[in-house]
Amino acid sequence: MAVVTLKDVRKVYAGGVEAVKGVSIDIPDGGFCVLVGPSGCGKSTLLRMVAGLETISSGEVAIGDRVVNDIEPAERDIAMVFQNYALYPHMSVYDNIAYGLRNRKTPKDEIDRRVQEAARILAIEPFLQRKPRALSGGQRQRVAMGRAIVRKPQVFLFDEPLSNLDAKLRVQMRVEIKKLQRALGVTSIYVTHDQVEAMTLSDKLVVMSGGQVEQVGTPTEVYRRPETRFVATFIGSPPMNILPGVVETDGRVSVGGQSLAAADMATDLKPGLAVDVGIRPEEAEIAAPGVAGCAFAIDFVEELGATELLHGTIGEGAFVLQVPTGSVPNGTKQVALTIAPNCVHVFDRETGKRLSRRPAEASKAA
Amino acid sequence: MEKRSVYTNKLLPYLLLAPQLVITLVFFYWPASQAVWMSFRIEDAFGISTEFVGFENYVTLFGQRSYYESMWTTLVFSLAVTILAMSFSLLLAVMADKQIRGGSVYRTLLIWPYAVAPAIAGVLWLFMFQPSLGMIGRGLIAAGVPWNPMLNGDHALLLVILAAAWKQISYNFLFFLAGLQSIPKSLIEAAAIDGAKPARRFWTIIFPMLSPTTFFLLVVNIVYVFFDTFGIIDAITHGGPAKATETLVFKVYSDGRLGGDLGGSAAQSVVLMVIVIALTAIQFRYVERKVTY
Ligand SMILES: Nc1ncnc2c1ncn2[C@@H]1O[C@H](COP(=O)(O)OP(=O)(O)OP(=O)(O)O)[C@@H](O)[C@H]1O
Ligand SMILES: [Mg+2]
């Protein structure tokens, strides 16, 4: 088990594409770090640099107290699960799992013991003699996991390991990966563009965009206190509503002509400044009858089962509200919303940065 | 799901196939049946009439010491050419596969030998290795190697093997390169992470995954050395010295054309035909089933 440290890591591909633009992350021993971000933001590139499959243009990657920049993948004591599983098609499941141990000249009976143990943990014992092509997608995924755990590496690396599975299996495997990682206590880095996977798996969430880190934190921190407008709309489903607003006095903003208290808004902003105001669909509430609130005009309703999404507008801005099914009578055209002051997020319109009461440095340490 | 074209005109499909069928009939089945027919007959001394003799030509053929000698020459020749051509082209393909840029120039250069006519290839090699004129031949003599492919049968065979292998390398190279490029890169990466060094990666992952290509090429190469090396041998050695480079195919020609024994030569052709049919059958049987994994 080991701490993984990335220090100002950069990657410039031949041809001049700068895929990773200076990333620094510390992952504690046994931590589960998830890299999440839109397609092409450099997640895989970063992971592959940790694996040793891509050279590091500048900066430092350390596993434990060893800088591994110039160390071969085989010597880094890592295991990786690929999106397409990368199982050796001409070998049986047993041989696939045993391959890494055989390369390391592990004694035969030790190999057998460990392969059987891995197979038992992953419930793939019945398939050990089969070739990968005779397995279902989920079973292949387990074999790929088996190949990773059998070597008892210092670090697990996952590159979108679940994206080839159907939705139901994905949820099931997600839970299993989490349990397995907890049980084995191996430091893990997991790449995904699925933000539900990112939220549920991680204890350290890294949101990336355009080769840079947008925010690092626990899933709750990132959800509660997004540092940028990008993170705010990327994490959370349905995404956070962003409405145009204007700064008033006394920590209030005006949205669609209605005044809202914003608990975390910086106090030194000039009244009249145009800002972006973020409100999560699930955090606005329908005001009790007679209570004043923000006017929300409903256009149409999407049923999700337990909850429903009300699509409409506040002032000029599009807004989505998520409420328990049946919260508003059929055909309602307008409701008033109350929004708790700590659920109002204010972002700089130009830079997209959070305009926070706490200085950025202090909030990072939090 | 069945995928078939529907023709309203019943005649059209046959019409479209006709050129292909005619060519096959005229240039393959007709000569082949002629060969079989001839192999059961003997021509008189003046070539005026022929007489049916049953299997006599075959009995004579398999009673000849020279036929077995030619078989042995063919075996050595085909094994050496196949192994040389395949291993060398695999090596080149592996090197080209690593080289991403400049790959197309490299590839074009390597394909050229395939476009050279066999006789010209033969003459080229003869020029290079001729003991008194050839660059390499003179170099060998100068270095004290007693080199003379014109008189020494082993030298002649070696030269023919080199020329024939050289000619086939480009073809093999193309297939090996295509095979290598169809192996997913993540497989190699997984093996690297699994602690396999490059040589071990090659033998445990890449080579087994190439096995369908290798098997296909093995059959193609054997057929090639059996039948398509006539031009090279004719240009370099004419089957000599003292029949040292007389392969089965060359013997068909020299016995039939030069020796005037049409019946015996036809019997030899039939034997060769059986061999090639057997090889093709094996190939279809296994390539269809995709070999190994
Ligand atoms: N071998 C390469 N050569 C040049 N550019 C590359 C190479 N591999 C990736 N890139 C570029 O680097 C950027 C980041 O790619 P990367 O594969 O890391 O993205 P990603 O975040 O994993 O995306 P996805 O979610 O689609 O897998 C992209 O713009 C991509 O085009
Ligand atoms: Mg990726």
The C-alpha atoms of residue A266 and residue A278 are separated, in whole angstroms, by 15
Cα A296 versus chain centre, distance? 31
Mean pLDDT score, B271-281: 84
Q: Does residue B171 fall inside a structural domain?
A: yes
**Final residue in a domain of this structure, among A164, A194, A228:** A228
In a domain, B34, yes or no: no
Helix B135-142 vs helix B118-129: angle between axes, to the nearest 10 degrees?
30
Ligand 2 centre to CA of B31 (Å) is: 60
Query: Are residues A309 and A167 both part of a single domain?
Result: no
State whether B205 and A88 contact (CB < 8 Å): yes
Find residues 208-247 of chain B whose CB sits inside 8 Å of chain A. Answer: 208-209, 211
Q: What value does the mean pLDDT of chain B take?
A: 80
Q: What is the pLDDT of residues B47-58, one digit of tens each?
A: 667 777 777 777
B135-166 tens-digit pLDDT: 787 777 777 777 777 777 778 888 888 888 88
Q: Which of A287-291, B77-81, B125-129, B147-151 has the highest mean pLDDT?
A: B77-81
Is residue A252 scored above 70 in pLDDT?
Answer: yes
Nearest to B246 by CA among B165, B167, B157: B157
Q: Is A50 on the interface with B (CB under 8 A)?
A: no
Q: Per residue in A128-143, pLDDT tens?
A: 999 999 998 889 999 9
User: Measured between alpha carbons, how far is B279 from B29 in angstroms, rounded to an integer?
Assistant: 18
What is the model's pLDDT at position B55?
A: 75
- Identify whether residues A31 and A86 lie together within a single domain: yes
Q: What CATH code is carried by the domain that includes residue A271? A: 2.40.50.140
- Of residues A118 and B135, the one with the higher pLDDT is A118
Average pLDDT over residues B170-191: 89
Q: How many domains does chain A have?
A: 2
Confidence (pLDDT) at B290: 55
What is the CATH classification number for the domain harbouring B240?
Answer: 1.10.3720.10
The CATH number of whichever domain residue A49 belongs to comes to 3.40.50.300
Ligand 2 ion: Cβ-proximal residues, 5 Å cutoff? A 44
The pLDDT assigned to A362 comes to: 47
Same domain, A200 and A245: no
Instruction: Name the CA radius of gyration of chain B, rounded.
Output: 23
User: Which residue of chain B comes nearest to A152, CA vs CA?
Assistant: B194
Based on the fold, state whether residues A135 and A169 are members of the same structural domain. Answer: yes
Test the A interface: residue of B182, B183, B185, B194 with most A CBs within 10 Å? B194
Mean pLDDT within A120-131: 91
| pLDDT at residue A235 tops 60 | yes
User: Cβ neighbours of residue B4 under 8 Å, at least 6 residues apart?
Assistant: none
* Number of domains within chain B: 1
Q: By residue range, what is the domain housing residue B255?
A: 66-260
- Same domain (yes/no): A197, A293: no
Mutate to test the interface with B, among A71, A87, A102, A103 (most CBs of B within 10 A): A103
A71 near B CB under 8 A: no
Residue A267 has pLDDT above 90, yes or no: no
Pairing label, strands B41-43, A345-348: unpaired
Share of chain A above pLDDT 70, in %: 98
* pLDDT surpasses 90 at A159: yes
pLDDT band for position B120 (50/70/90)? confident
Closest CB to B194 among A84, A90, A103: A103
Q: Can you give chain A as a three-state secondary structure string?
A: CCCEEEEEEEEECCCCCEEEEEEEEEECCCCEEEEECCCCCCHHHHHHHHHCCCCCCEEEEEECCEECCCCCHHHHCEEEECCCCCCCCCCCHHHHHHHHHHHCCCCHHHHHHHHHHHHHHHCCHHHCCCCHHHCCHHHHHHHHHHHHHCCCCCEEEEECCCCCCCHHHHHHHHHHHHHHHHHHCCEEEEEECCHHHHHHHCCEEEEEECCEEEEEECHHHHHHCCCEHHHHHHCCCCCCEEEEEEECCCCEEEECCEEEECCCECCCCCCCCEEEEEECCCCEEECCCCCCCEEEEEEEEEECCCEEEEEEEECCEEEEEEEECCCCCCCCCEEEEEECHHHCEEEECCCCEECECCCHHHHHHC
Which tens digit of pLDDT belongs to each residue from A140-155? Answer: 999 999 999 998 899 9
Residue B26 belongs to some domain of the structure: no
Does residue B5 sit within a domain?
no
**B147 assigned to some structural domain:** yes
Q: Transcribe B130-189 into DSSP letters.
A: -TTT-HHHHHHHHTT----TTT-HHHHHHHHHHHHHHHHHHHHHHHHHHHHHTS-HHHHH
- Give bridge partners of residue A245 from the DSSP assignment: A255, A275
Q: Do the domain assignments include residue B110? A: yes
Q: Answer yes or no: is pLDDT of B249 > 90.
A: no
Strands of chain B (E only): list them.
41-43, 50-52
Does B1 score more than 50 pLDDT? no
> For residue B240, what pLDDT is reported?
73
The answer to which of A221-230, B34-43, B194-203 has the lowest mean pLDDT is B34-43
Cα separation, A255 vs B238, in Å, equals 97
Highest mean pLDDT pick, A24-28, B11-15, B218-222 = A24-28
pLDDT, position A361: 47
Lowest pLDDT segment from B11-15, B49-53, B206-210, B251-255 = B49-53
Please report whether residue B52 resides in a domain: no
What does the pLDDT read at residue A363? 47
State which of A228, A254, A275 marks the end of a domain: A228
Residues 6 or more apart in contact with residue A28 via CB below 8 angstroms: A3, A187, A204
Instruction: State which of A228, A261, A287 marks the end of a domain.
Output: A228
Q: For position B194, what pLDDT does the model report?
A: 92
Structural domain containing residue A287: 231-365
Residues A182 and A240 in one domain: no
ipTM of the complex: 0.83
List residues bridging with A243 in a β-sheet.
A277
Query: Ramachandran region of residue B75, left (φ > 0), alpha (ψ -120 to 50) or beta?
Result: alpha
| B149: Cβ contacts below 8 Å, ≥ 6 apart | B129, B131, B137, B155, B156, B158, B159, B236, B237
Beta-strand relationship, A32-36 and A187-192: parallel
Determine the pLDDT at residue A156: 94
Query: Do A10 and A104 belong to one domain?
Result: yes
Residues A209 and A111 in one domain: yes
User: Do the beta carbons of residue A284 and residue A321 sit within 8 Å?
Assistant: yes
* Segment A310-365, tens digit of pLDDT: 999 998 889 999 999 988 888 888 899 999 999 999 999 999 999 988 765 444 44
Q: Ligand 2 center to residue A159 CA distance, Å?
A: 7
How does the average pLDDT of chain A come out, rounded?
Answer: 90
For residue B278, tell me if it sits in a domain.
Answer: no
Under the banding of pLDDT at 50, 70 and 90, the label for residue A16 is confident
Number of inter-chain CB pairs under 8 A, A vs B? 61
- What confidence score (pLDDT) does residue B133 get? 75
